[in-house]
Structures are given as C-alpha cells and as structure tokens.
A and B are shown apart, each in its own frame.
Chain A
Amino acid sequence: MASGSEDTFWTQDPEVAASTDVELLKRAWRNEKASPEILRFEEPLVERVREQIELLEQTVEELRAEGKDELMISLYQMDLDRTLYLLRSYLRIRLQKIEKYTIHISKTDLWGRLSSQEQAFAQRCIIIMKEHLEQSVLGKLPDGYKDVLKQSLASEDDDMVPEPPLDTFVFCKSRGDLGPFQLDDSVYYMIVHRCKNDYRLVQKHMEDGSWALVMLLIP
C-alpha cells in the first residue's frame, strides 16, 4: 500500500472534500459523462446553481456599471462562464443520451431518472422517430412485419430496442475509505483509490453516491 506521503496527497485532494454547489455540479457532470446509462437528475442542485448564476450575472452587471477594475470583472465573468458551461454540458449530455436510447429509457425504470421537461422531450422523440421509421421503412414492408419494436408478429418481446452498453470499462474513485469489499469474486481494498471495473458492477455503488466515476475507458 502507498507510503505516508501519498496518503497525505490524497487527503488533500479537493475532490474528496467537495462541498460547494459548483463542485457538486462538476462531480455530477463528470459522472454523467463517464456513465453509459443515464443517471438521476439532480433537480435541487440544478436549481441552486441557476440561482447562483443569476446572482453572479447581477454582480457582474453592477461592477460594470460602477466602472470597477477590468481584471476583477473579467474574473467574475470567467467564473460565470465556467459555471454556465458546466450546467449546459450536464444538460446536453443527458439530452444526447435520451436522444440515443429513448425507447429503452421509456420502457424501464430509467424513466424515473428524468426531469419532467426531459420526459416531455423524450415523449416527442419517440413519436417523431416512430413516424419517421413508419413512413420510410415499415409502411413498405409486408403485413406482420410492420411493427417498430418487434421484428415480426412471431417475436415474443420487443426485440428491436437499442440498449446502452453496460459492460464498458470505467475508472472509479471512492470518496473515503470503504475498507475491504467484494466486487464480483475479487476482494478490493479501496482507500481513495482509483481502479478499473466493468460498469455493471459499479452501478450499485453509483446509485448511493459513495463512488464517483472518473473516466471511461472503452475496450
């Protein structure tokens, strides 16, 4: 295991001590980016961040009106831009996942992870996609093969629904010492440690927030 100097390096890691809303947003954003499936929508967090962005915008306006120091104004502006970027990117990534796996999300309990506006968007996506496919392909096919979700009348389940790949590799980092634990037949020791794992195995820990995804590695 690591020597003393590495331990102190990790405990000083700001990730572990994340407490401000921007830090929390950054973590949510990073998790969303690395995860193959859509995660729970952080509604209260997004609300708070938007309020803070508004506050920052007002502050910048006031400073400009008072003709204050250009450097200070541009620092506030940078902060504002960066937070806005995080928020936009977070919402964008979710939207792109929804666009890609709409039907799958609507049929499983992943639906509950969407905000109400996202659900409205997803409903429209499904309708639009079905219309498009029916018009260009399915309408021309023979009877018994016209369904958009089943290959044919002979299929028992909806076998034409694309699903997100849950067996991609991810890197994860735990927030604090979890002690020894088991993950699919191997025993791991995690002390604010980074390890590589199949996403499915990590899924459960993602839900309760004890882990954060760091990077996605595609095999």
Chain B
Amino acid sequence: MYGRKGSQLVRELASGEAGQLTSFNNDLFDQVVRECNEHKLQLTSLFEKIKHDGLDIERTRNADHFGAVIHHLSLIRNKRCLMSYMYNRAEMIRSLRWKAGRVLPVEIQGKMTHSEEEYFKKHSAALESYMSAMDIDLTVDMVPPKDPYIQVRVIDDIGEVLLGDQVISLVRNSVHSLKRSDAEPLISQGLMEEFLG
C-alpha cells in the first residue's frame, strides 16, 4: 500500500523516547526513497500515455490522469515523511548540543549518519560564533542558581585544572567546593557530580 513505509518511518520516530536519538534506520529510509522514484516513473509514464493518446495534459480527466494524481500525492506524502524524519532528528541533535556540550559521547555518534555529524559540527560552530559575538557563554548556568558555590565529587580522574586563579587537583572521589560556573561544564560532561550530603 502506498505510503505505508513512510508512515512506518514516522511512527518509529514518534514511538521512541522523547528526546532520545535512535539509530538511523538506513534500510527503511532507502526503501521510502526508492518508492518515491518508482512513483515518479509511473507518473511520468502515465503522462506520456496521455500525450501519446493525443489528449490535452492540462485538461484531461481520465483514469490515467487520476492514476498520475495518486502517484503524485503518494510521492509528496513520502517526501513529507522523509523530511519530517530528518528534521525531527536534526532537532534532537540540536538539543544535544545544549545538553551534552561540544563533544558527543561515542554511543550517540554511532546512531547518527555522516551528514548528521556534519550538521552537528556546523551548528555547534554557528552557536559558538554567536556566543563570541555577544561575548557571553550561554551553555553554563542552565538552572537558576541557589548558591554561588556548589559541592562536587569528582568521578573521573581529571588531574590538575586551572579554575579561576587557583590550580586545583581533581583526584577521583575527592570533594571540592567550586564556583557554580566553573563546575557546570565538568558536570555536564559527566566528569563530576553534585555532592549532596
């Protein structure tokens, strides 16, 4: 049935966890694209037939014409499904930039196509150029601050880090009291966590 694969693609998007990028379904995607091209072939051949029968393309309303219309409508429906699949994935990728920072974890990279990785890099660059034009870092301070200082526990061995004007040695499992804006990027990368209690 026409459009079934397209809607399957979209349903896959909708059934995934909100905001979670799933693996790019190459097979299904290619199948839908192939369907589109087939529709186009059918469409063209039906138009040829109308011309061949000596009828006016613009005004004829016979079975061939309506057949062509159905192919056309299925085609644009498939196009919409494909675009929506790519577009929504792009939206999730953009939100990853805000949540996970510049460098994506390897598992997520594995789920993206090459084009999506390129998109992520270029978008990241555009954001950074905006932030430097405005001279303000927008990726810190994602939640309203309760306290200027925050207690953190180090998860991975980071070593010596320059924070503010002090060099702090961030050894695994050590607890430090850091300025919120210094700690945030390290927390979002998963190298530290907030120490409560």
Contacts and interface: CB of A to CB of B under 8 A. Distances in A.
Chains A and B belong together in one complex: yes
Contacts of B113: 136
B33 A152 contact: no
Interface stretch (A10-18, A74-82, A163-171, A192-200): A74-82
Interface in B54-81: 72, 75-76, 79-80
Contact of B148 (A81, A96, A132, A152): A81
Contacts of A137: 33, 79, 82-83, 86
B176 to A, nearest CB: 17
A87 B136 contact: yes
Interface string B159-187: 00000000000000000000011000000
A162 B87 CA distance: 10
B119 interface: yes
B116 A142 contact: no
A141 B141 CA distance: 43
B15 interface: no
B1 interface: no
Nearest to B82: A137
A140 B33 contact: yes
A39 interface: no
B86 A132 contact: yes
Contacts of A124: 122, 126, 129
B12 interface: no
Contacts, number: 109
Q: Which secondary structure dominates where chain B touches chain A?
A: helix
B91 A100 contact: yes
Given A121-B126, A129-B90, A82 B82 contact: no
Q: Which secondary structure dominates where chain A touches chain B?
A: helix
Given A137-B86, A141-B33, A152-B75, 10 more contacts: A78-B148, A88-B137, A92-B98, A117-B133, A121-B129, A128-B122, A129-B90, A142-B40, A145-B76, A151-B79
28 contacts: A78-B145, A82-B145, A84-B141, A85-B144, A88-B137, A88-B138, A95-B127, A96-B98, A100-B91, A117-B130, A117-B133, A117-B134, A118-B130, A121-B127, A128-B122, A128-B123, A128-B126, A132-B86, A132-B90, A133-B83, A137-B86, A142-B40, A143-B40, A145-B36, A151-B76, A151-B80, A160-B80, A162-B87
Interface of B: 33, 36-37, 39-40, 72, 75-76, 79-80, 82-83, 86-87, 90-91, 94, 98, 113, 115-116, 118-119, 122-123, 126-127, 129-130, 133-134, 136-138, 140-141, 144-145, 147-148, 180-181
Closest 9 CB pairs of A and B: A142-B40, A124-B126, A132-B119, A121-B130, A77-B148, A81-B145, A117-B133, A136-B115, A151-B76
Interface of A: 74, 77-78, 81-82, 84-85, 87-89, 91-92, 95-96, 99-100, 117-118, 120-121, 124-125, 128-129, 131-133, 135-137, 140-145, 151-152, 154, 160, 162
